[in-house]
Chain A
Amino acid sequence: MNSLRRHMKQLSLIMVILMSFATTFSVSAHAGMVGTGELIQQQQTDLDRQQLLDMLEDQNVQDKLAQMGVSEAQVAERIQNLTPAELADFEQQLAEAPAGEGVVGVIVLFLLVFIITDMLCATNLFSFINCIR
């Protein structure tokens, strides 16, 4: 458990860096033409987000969430707030997940993100996690 916690710290540091990058980019992107690369990236993010939201409609997912005491609305809001980097990461892992494990896989991935953001004090879903700040 200790070693897991140590890894979590490193992981969260990486996430912080990634998130701050994402913020920097989206601010500097305002002025000027919307380039093709930027547009593709942005639409891909929207698409990935929508795909994740669609998965929440699945009855199995809703049952599982209810079991774990997390509301669908909480998860949906969390999805809305995912950065492009986080979304891309999800997509990558989803694509690599063996067929049929998709639904359970999504839940596990979400838990991971919730735990990390809880540690960063961005959310407060799990009481067992100590906020690192």
Chain B
Amino acid sequence: MLDQALLDHVPFYPQEKYQCGPASLATMLNTQGLATDPEILKELVYLPGRQGSLQVEMVAGARSHDMVVYPLRPNLEAVLGEVTAGNPVLIMQNLRFNWWPQWHFAVVVGYDSEEEVLILNTDTRRHYRMPYKVFHATWNRADRWAVVILPPDSLPATAETLPYLRAAHDLESTGHTRAAQQAYQAAEQQWPDQPAPIMAQGNLAYDQGNAEGAASHFLRAVNRFPDFSEAWNNLAYALSARSCPEQASKAMACAANLNPERFGQAPELPKGTTGGSRSSCPPIPDCPADTTER
């Protein structure tokens, strides 16, 4: 890691009274090329009654702009790692005491590890140098909450497969399916040895009524990960929805063979609604469980 870094391209919005939430969210979003501003975001994340913003609203506010909100591991290294990679980090602090909190959002835009300072865009100060010690105390009291906010086609520097997929899945379940699909795709490229990103794409297609797309994702999954019973199971459902009962029951049998405890007593597959011709059904690969038994 570098000794120091400063992300000079990160814009700065001095906060107005109590409005650190909208100001720091605007900082985060506009760094990614959006053109919003604190005034607009105020509607989204500022609660006048509480004179502030809540974490959940900050996260929801970023998601509503089709961004992936990735929570960092609760340590300073993760924060510095993201900054080194060029990603500003949104953090929460408690500037007072646990029993009388004053919550505050700020954006980490740099650091100097020799002087042991973090460089923050905070309240009305740009590039404010805060000693590690002070930062730690205030950050600890806010449960070390830190996130990066990125468009779905670029991954955080410290991203790990499952937390990233969870962040992408949160996008999907809040209705941002296109962005979620992009994030799943980016995850598949980043972690080609993991079945979960492919499964997520298949499930997304299936949920949108795209049985053909779903089947092709699940087929890719069973080709690359033949022992992954969940992929065979979901493939069976997608093929069934495509009106390929023969292939579907083969896939289902394979899932049951690979994992009898979980898929052994599979219910009858739902019949597909579209009367597609059988000839268009894709061939499915051999089940690994068949070959080992013989």
A interface residues with partner B (beta carbon < 8 Å):
30-37, 39-40, 43-44, 47, 95-96, 99
Contact = CB atoms under 8 A, between A and B. Distances in A.
Contacts of B265: 30
B127 interface: no
Contacts, number: 45
Given A34-B199, A36-B200, A44 B162 contact: yes
B122 interface: no
24 contacts: A30-B265, A31-B266, A31-B267, A33-B234, A33-B237, A34-B199, A34-B203, A34-B230, A34-B233, A35-B203, A36-B165, A36-B196, A36-B199, A36-B200, A36-B203, A37-B169, A40-B165, A40-B166, A40-B169, A40-B196, A43-B162, A44-B162, A95-B73, A95-B74
B206 interface: yes
Contacts of A33: 203, 206, 233-234, 237
B203 A47 contact: no
Contacts of B234: 33-34
Contacts of A31: 266-267
B219 interface: no
B172 interface: yes
B173 interface: yes
Interface in B140-195: 162, 165-166, 169, 172-173
